[in-house]
Amino acid sequence: MMLLRVMAASRRFGAHTAVDRVDVTVDRGEVVGLLGANGAGKTTLVKLILGLLAPTSGAIELLGGPPSRTARTRVGYLPQGLGIYEDLTVAQQLAFTARVHGYRASPAAIAGDDGQPIASLPLGVRRQTAFAAATGHDPDLLLLDEPTSGVDPLGRARLWDRVRDHAQLGRGVLVSTHYMSEAAQCDRLVILSQGRVVASGGLHEIIAGRRTVAVATDDWQRAFTVLDAAALQVALAGRRLRVIAAHPRTVASTLAAAGVAAQTTEVPATLEEVFVELARQRAA
Amino acid sequence: MSYGFEHVTVTYGDHDAVHAVSLRIDPGAVTALVGGDGAGKTTLLRAFAGRVEPSSGRVHRPPLHRVGVLTADPPGYGDLTVAQNLRFVARVRGLSPHRADERADALLAATGLAGARDRLADRLSGGMRRKLGIVLATLHEPEILLLDEPTTGVDPVSRTDLWRLMAGAAGAGTAVVFATTYIDEAERCTQVLALDRGRVLAGGDPERIMEPLRGQVYQASAPGPAGRTWRRGAGWRVWMPVGVPDGAAAVEPDLEDAVVIAMLRRDAAPRHTAEVG
């Protein structure tokens, strides 16, 4: 049984379609990444999955049935705002969460917890606490919204370790993130743009065959100014430039016409570049 | 003329928010201050902007009227429109009305904000408000542009736009210094300063930071020795300066690997025991 199956689900608000015939699945042991610009429909989709909103059309199967209150007790949800009480201590918060879910709280072992109220702890420790609170009842499906925002790289690796451990126990994880390097670590990705799925699959499937023009030059500042003025989608990459959705010959001739010496080559696109291009295409 | 810090320490109470940080900032460079919460990024920017006095060390910067600043607060006045915010800042900065209009038109066109001139700043989306912030901070063509986490919480599409504005300012000769928690973003800068708990973990040209680690970083399906391994995707990264871990494939190290390795090295220093993975 799939843990989550969103089948051609749509949700309209008046004339606005926030979620438009979206398909998403999460299987046991899987970490699925949900990517989308703000307003892409991620929050509405999460509310549909949790049963807090009903789809206008299509269907959602959460743990084999409709997203009922009972099904929700087997879901863990970590919102971006953490959803914990910052004037409690870590132990009080975890005891409270345990009482709500009706399980025995195991003694908290959160590195960096000094017994002070959560509000006074470093963000990494607060995030660890929120993660422990969201997973204490051993949920079958875990929904994470930007779980590592603002955390240093080692702290992020530790949090991901917990996420992966959870998935390896045969649970599923659906995680929304703006970190492209983090998205690249998911087993599968679903990219949403203006309510629709514009790409889904493994990282390699999504970026396969997509190219970017890399520009090597001694004067990146001038090259940037020239390409930007020509309305090309240019980005800085170290002391080189990258231009998406452009033909290498267009880039080369634009630079040559302005007298900028540069070498242009086609290289594989990054996930971020593919994402931005897909979102722009959908907007156009 | 280059600017920067020499052994700057900023102390709050009995705690060094920034400890002995040095950094050279050249015109047209894009410098990322990267680190997690509490790394000292904001303090360093505040010291550079003259908003906090270092307890020791020296700050070299142009006169304050040649500096542009975007703090982490929502920029501009929420109850003014985009156009009113621009006029206000232009007057404060002493721009001639002609020059102010010229700059505003160019910047608004570049940001896609031209259609929102009459909208209240409070009614802009998060990404648009940040773009307005960069426009306000660069209106007077500062020599140095300081931005505190301009892209945090901003979606990848708006982030690309903000990034283009910053690179555009650098292209025109401004030295851009910005704080970020996104390491992949820092990797694309001309120079990076990775901070943790107020101290420098690594600094310089990202390529040069990654270069010495080439051939030492592996992706494995099982964790490596303690203190040398961390989670990456479904598997683990292993850092092995000598030898090859079993069943592991060498990978091209990125800046994230370099910063994690710097943290592991620091944690392995005598007083601490490494505890990772």
Q: Residues B75-86: what's their mean pLDDT? A: 95
CATH of the domain at A133: 3.40.50.300
- Asked if A132 contacts A108 with a C-beta cutoff of 8 angstroms, the reply is yes
pLDDT (tens digit, 9 = 90+) per residue, B146-195? 999 998 878 888 888 888 889 999 989 999 999 999 898 899 999 999 99
B9, β-bridge pairs: B56
| Interface contact A235-B160, CB threshold 8 A | yes
Q: How many CB pairs under 8 A join A and B?
A: 140
pLDDT (tens digit, 9 = 90+) per residue, A122-151? 888 888 899 999 998 999 999 998 888 888
Q: Tokens representing B243?
A: 């030898």
| Interface contact B234-A187, CB threshold 8 A | yes
| Residue A164 resides in a domain | yes
Which residues have a Cβ under 8 Å from the Cβ of A98 and sit 6 or more positions away? Answer: A104, A105, A136
Q: Residues B121-147: what's their mean pLDDT? A: 93
Query: Half-sphere exposure of residue A139, counting CA atoms within 13 Å on the CB side?
Result: 29
pLDDT (tens digit, 9 = 90+) per residue, B96-114? 999 999 999 888 887 878 8
Q: If you average pLDDT over every residue of chain B, what do you get?
A: 91
CATH of the domain at A227: 3.30.70.790
What pLDDT shows up at residue A40?
Answer: 87
Going A163 to A164 to A168 to A172, the CA torsion angle's sign is: positive
Chain A 190-229, CB below 8 Å of chain B: which residues? Answer: 220-222, 224-225, 228
Which amino acid is present at A155?
Answer: G
What pLDDT shows up at residue B254?
Answer: 93
CA distance to A39, B34, B114, B247, per residue, from B194 (Å)? 32, 5, 36, 31
Q: For residue A124, list chain B residues with Cβ-Cβ distance below 8 A.
A: 36-37
Which of B30, B163, B183 has the CB atom closest to A181's CB atom? B183
Q: Complex ipTM, two decimals? A: 0.85
Chain A 146-165, CB below 8 Å of chain B: which residues? Answer: 149-155, 157-158, 160-161, 164
| Residue B246 resides in a domain | yes
Considering the domain architecture, whether residues B225 and B184 belong to the same structural domain is answered as no
What pLDDT shows up at residue A107?
Answer: 64
- Does residue B7 carry a pLDDT above 70? yes
**What is the value of pTM for the model shown?**
0.89
Considering the domain architecture, whether residues B112 and B189 belong to the same structural domain is answered as yes
| Interface contact B181-A149, CB threshold 8 A | yes
Q: Residues B10-25: what's their mean pLDDT? A: 94
Q: Tokens representing A172?
A: 């599923």
| Count of structural domains within chain A | 2
Chain A 242-281, CB below 8 Å of chain B: which residues? Answer: 272, 275-276, 279-280
| Residue B79 resides in a domain | yes
Considering the domain architecture, whether residues B14 and B125 belong to the same structural domain is answered as yes
Considering the domain architecture, whether residues B138 and B248 belong to the same structural domain is answered as no
| Interface contact B28-A221, CB threshold 8 A | yes
| Count of structural domains within chain B | 2
Q: Which of B204, B223, B251 is the last residue of a domain?
A: B204
Instruction: State the 10-residue block means of pLDDT for chain A, 284 residues long.
Output: 95 95 97 89 92 96 93 91 89 90 77 87 87 92 88 87 92 90 89 94 94 94 92 89 92 95 94 90 80
Which residues have a Cβ under 8 Å from the Cβ of B92 and sit 6 or more positions away? Answer: none
Percent of chain B at pLDDT exceeding 70: 97
| Residue A101 resides in a domain | yes
Q: Is B193 left (phi over 0), alpha (psi -120 to 50) or beta?
A: beta
Considering the domain architecture, whether residues B76 and B119 belong to the same structural domain is answered as yes
To the nearest whole Å, the CA of B29 is away from the closest chain A CA by: 9
Which amino acid is present at B223?
Answer: P
| Closest residue, chain A, to B149 (C-alpha) | A150
What pLDDT shows up at residue B277?
Answer: 38
CA distance B56 to A170: 54
To the nearest whole Å, the CA of A173 is away from the closest chain B CA by: 13
To the nearest whole Å, the CA of A137 is away from the closest chain B CA by: 23
What pLDDT shows up at residue B275?
Answer: 43
pLDDT (tens digit, 9 = 90+) per residue, B247-259? 889 999 999 999 9
Considering the domain architecture, whether residues A247 and A124 belong to the same structural domain is answered as no
Which of A164, A180, A187 has the CB atom closest to B156's CB atom? A180
**Range list of H helices, chain A:** 42-49, 69-72, 90-101, 123-135, 153-168, 180-183, 203-207, 220-229, 248-257, 271-283
pLDDT (tens digit, 9 = 90+) per residue, B223-234? 999 899 999 988
Domain that holds residue A258: 211-268
To the nearest whole Å, the CA of A54 is away from the closest chain B CA by: 26
- Asked if B93 contacts B163 with a C-beta cutoff of 8 angstroms, the reply is no
* Interface probe with A: pick from B33, B141, B157, most Cβ of A within 10 Å: B157
Q: Which of B153, B180, B204 is the last residue of a domain?
A: B204
What pLDDT shows up at residue A108?
Answer: 61
Domain that holds residue B8: 3-204
- Asked if B138 contacts B111 with a C-beta cutoff of 8 angstroms, the reply is no
What pLDDT shows up at residue B220?
Answer: 93
To the nearest whole Å, the CA of A35 is away from the closest chain B CA by: 9
pLDDT band at B1 (very low <50, low <70, confident <90, very high): low
Considering the domain architecture, whether residues A89 and A67 belong to the same structural domain is answered as yes
CA distance B130 to B141: 17
Going A199 to A202 to A203 to A209, the CA torsion angle's sign is: negative
* Interface probe with A: pick from B152, B181, B251, most Cβ of A within 10 Å: B181
Q: For residue A36, list chain B residues with Cβ-Cβ distance below 8 A.
A: 155
Query: Half-sphere exposure of residue A46, counting CA atoms within 13 Å on the CB side?
Result: 24
| Residue A167 resides in a domain | yes
